[in-house]
Structure 1
Amino acid sequence: MSFPRYPEYKDSGVAWLGQVPTHWQAKRTGYFFHERREKVSDKDFDALSVTKNGVVPQLETAAKTDDGDNRKKVCAGDFVINSRSDRKGSAGAADRDGSVSLISTVLRPRDEVEIKFAHHLLRSELFQEEFYRFGKGIVADLWSTNFTEMRNIVLAIPPLQEQRSIATFLDHETAKIDALVVEQEKLITLLQEKRQAVISHAVTKGLNPNVPMKDSGVEWLGEVPEHWEVKVLKFIATVQTGIAKGKDNTGKETITVPYLRVANVQDGYLALDDMAEIEISASDLQRYLLQPGDVLMNEGGDFDKLGRGHIWRGEIESCIHQNHVFAVRPHGVSSEWLNAITGSGYAQFYFMTRSKQSTNLASISSTSIMELPVLLPPRNEQAAVLTFIAKQTSQFDTLMTEARSAITLLQERRTALISAAVTGQIDVRTWTPQGAA
């Protein structure tokens, strides 16, 4: 779908806008918006959260405070933006009265501004970059932009009716894109479930459907092939716990080494592009050093992080791991088989039932991990199962990669469409939903 440009343009006078339609007003934000600074109590005005999805009722994960009067008033029709650069994209038009954290800037639009248009304009990637560029602070990724600086950002605003047309167009088009993204996300979830089901069946039942079965001795595991062994993990592997940050190294010889975190240990692969470093005592290096063949497992976090992991192949020299990542070091089983077991549905069930849980979070101890029952076919059968799993999961992984790529393209399309519409690079005044179909 392509859209025409406006007949005539003028220079906006600022780089982020460039050329804008001749009849649009190019003035500072302070002309179009007033700042609302009234402090209120969350006892009188419901607490709201400012997120990348807009302004919503306060999230369960939001930091709570006893200073109930230390919040900013928000009225329906206001625009709210988080002033901190590490919260980039957290902004939106409020559809209800309430209160927000003092770190947010609350804007009341003048009568000549349609809030639905402002919602798209001020959440656009182009404006967000300009907004945080005006910020101040010592650390670049923790800058704050207050209204004092924000008011000087130049905006280009079309006539009121045109704002409404643009907002209607973007509401419609972004909803279609969002629906397509949801479909791709559902597909990824389905593929992940099927992928794990294939792995779980292979490592618990084998590849021969006619093999005699026996009771595994584990109630929730059920029957397994008669000739397979069942051993507790502690008899075929050791668990190395990681280092906690903040250790006192006063008076010790120290070294700085790469440091593997939970974010680096994904489900079936390692994300090593963003590696942290940590200063440790030189004498502690051998204690926490990762060794090729270690099966990495996350202690917890969100439910989907519990026990997830992959094999360490020695990708980074002299690398250690944090205390929230376990290094399971096998001595009576191959790393590949143990990794297949720990990534299976039955192991994930075990980890979840043995974990400490709170709202959306779970963690498991090294002691509980060591009690995991591990199924052990003969070595040649392990190799056959692993080959089968690799072939099957490769197909699922290819489909999931394609779905993730589709999501990326859709999101890029969404961002570009919003930016083009709110800066006048496309003319949608004659657009209708029927004509767009």
Structure 2
Amino acid sequence: MSGGLGGPGMRRIKTVVTKIGSGKTPNGGGRSYQDDGVMFLRSQNVHFAGLRLDDVAFIGEDVHREMRASCVLSGDVLLNITGASLGRVARVPDNFGEANVNQHVCIIRPGAGVDCRFLAYALSSSNVQEQIAALQMGGNRDGLNFEQVGNLAIPLPSETSKQERIADFLDAELASVDALVGAKMRQIALLHERREAIVASRVSELCNDHGSVPLRRIWLGIEQGWSPQCDDAEADRDNWAVLRTSAVSSGRFDPLAHKRLPVDVQPDLRYVINDGDLLLTRGSGSAAMVGVAAVADTDGRRLLLSDLLYRVRLQPGWPSGLVASVIGSRPAREQISLLLRGQSGQTIKLRGQDVGEILIPCVPPDRRGAIAAEIAVTSTSHVSAARKIENSLALLHERRRALITAAVTGRLDLPAAWEAVA
């Protein structure tokens, strides 16, 4: 069986399924979510290794009935069709119960003669993921529409029994890979928790020893930036670019998280980013991503501040790294959580005047540099360890996709593979 588009055994999805569609955000957005009820699946719940429900939202039975056209059934395959997670796929397991989806998740319901597990694996294969990536090239950056989903070509053996054998093999083979991925993700989480505990303890100790002052007492000012219409592409070093929120929202500055400023648009030089600038996220759909601080390191790129970021100009003698570490600590995050405005499902924002109320330990001038370096060493060691694990995770994800692709396209000799497993 060929894995190429249009090759033998390739079928358009629309010819082998009974449903391609998605839901919507309920009226009222996040205000309509409840503590329990019918599960409302969003793109963050859809992952290649399966559905993750640790932060699943719930809607009421009345809303679910109003959205009955997007009810989810066991055996459905869910595909993320917008955003950074575009292309992620998960199968709805047996006996899943009632659920619904929003507009960012597409329901693909397999027809007769199509094994739902095989369909999910086929959509996860390099063949289909490359088709999805190709559809996003150029100006088509908004995601996939239902017609494009229906025209995706998947490798599909005509015999259902062969689909089932391939799915059985992948279920067994990937179980150990997914277990290892889960273990490594827990290692990363533990590293972050340990770092947070160390920094939180140090910040609390500094506050106890030296007292604290509101951030506005040690700044020269705060400003938000500018967000003109930009090209959704990486800028060359000689071109200007406007930062995305994701340049800061991880707590580590990423100079490549930007949008290219069109060549016919003049940059507003008031918002040029300089190395050492203290930046904070001003708004996001997730409360955890608002009020996150990072110190700019432009790597020589020509970057501009966006209107969903703040720049805090500190008084001389205050290291931006020290203040960023304090803002990222657990005591400060708890304070920030009380200052946020907006609800889940909407853009949650932090006002500039509220940023000024964040408490900073009043460290004596002669100790600020040393304490900033001390916290930086702690953070760097934990980040370095986490990155090593993330690199091994990337290799596991590559192995997972390669195995899936080889199996669903017939390039893997399945009987021999089963012998190797045995």
TM-score (norm 1): 0.70
Structure 2 contact 243–306 (Cα < 8 Å) conserved:
yes
Cα pair distance change 1:234/1:147, threshold 3 Å = closer
Structure 2 counterpart SS, 1:326:
strand
Correspondent of 2:4 among 2, 11, 15 = 15
Structure 2 counterpart SS, 1:358:
coil
Structure 1 contact 231–375 (Cα < 8 Å) conserved:
yes
Cα pair distance change 1:82/1:232, threshold 3 Å = closer
Correspondent of 2:241 among 255, 258, 261 = 258
| Partner residue in 2 for 1:299 | 282
Cα pair distance change 1:34/1:167, threshold 3 Å = closer
| Separation of aligned partners in 1, 2:108 and 2:299 | 48
Structure 2 contact 177–396 (Cα < 8 Å) conserved:
yes
1:141 shift after superposition = 3.3
1:416 shift after superposition = 0.9
Structure 1 contact 137–144 (Cα < 8 Å) conserved:
no
TM-score (norm 2): 0.72
1:330 shift after superposition = 1.0
Cα pair distance change 1:78/1:235, threshold 3 Å = closer
Structure 2 contact 89–120 (Cα < 8 Å) conserved:
no
| Partner residue in 2 for 1:391 | 377
| Partner residue in 2 for 1:340 | 325
Tell me if 1:239 matches 2:221. yes
Matches within 5 A, 1:267-282: 267-278=250-261
Cα pair distance change 1:168/1:353, threshold 3 Å = same
| Partner residue in 2 for 1:322 | 306
Tell me if 1:421 matches 2:421. no
| Separation of aligned partners in 2, 1:394 and 1:149 | 43
| Partner residue in 1 for 2:112 | 110
1:183 shift after superposition = 1.7
| Separation of aligned partners in 1, 2:251 and 2:23 | 48
Structure 1 counterpart SS, 2:415:
coil
Structure 2 counterpart SS, 1:88:
coil
| Separation of aligned partners in 1, 2:240 and 2:101 | 41
Structure 2 counterpart SS, 1:15:
coil
Q: Deviations over 1:14-37 (max 9, x none)?
A: 63597xxxxxx7364479725448
1:157 shift after superposition = 0.8
| Separation of aligned partners in 2, 1:55 and 1:296 | 34
1:422 shift after superposition = 0.9
1:414 shift after superposition = 1.0
Whichever of the two has the greater Rg, that structure is: 1
Tell me if 1:26 matches 2:9. yes
Matches within 5 A, 1:135-174: 139-142=139-142, 144=144, 150=150, 153=153, 155-157=155-157, 159-174=159-174
Q: Deviations over 1:83-119 (max 9, x none)?
A: 77983234646757887789957454333x3332223
| Partner residue in 2 for 1:181 | 181
Structure 1 contact 74–106 (Cα < 8 Å) conserved:
no
1:261 shift after superposition = 2.7
**Paired letter, 2:111:** P
**Paired letter, 1:126:** N
| Separation of aligned partners in 1, 2:261 and 2:121 | 41
Structure 1 contact 239–326 (Cα < 8 Å) conserved:
no
| Separation of aligned partners in 2, 1:349 and 1:42 | 29
| Partner residue in 2 for 1:253 | none
| Separation of aligned partners in 2, 1:261 and 1:41 | 26
Q: Which stretch of the first structure deviates more once superposed, 404-413 or 85-94?
A: 85-94
| Separation of aligned partners in 2, 1:39 and 1:204 | 47
Matches within 5 A, 1:50-199: 51=43, 52-53=46-47, 60=57, 68=66, 71=69, 76-77=74-75, 87-90=86-89, 92=91, 104=106, 106-111=108-113, 113-130=114-131, 139-142=139-142, 144=144, 150=150, 153=153, 155-157=155-157, 159-199=159-199
Cα pair distance change 1:163/1:261, threshold 3 Å = closer
1:418 shift after superposition = 0.8
Structure 1 contact 233–374 (Cα < 8 Å) conserved:
yes
| Separation of aligned partners in 2, 1:260 and 1:173 | 41
Structure 2 counterpart SS, 1:241:
strand
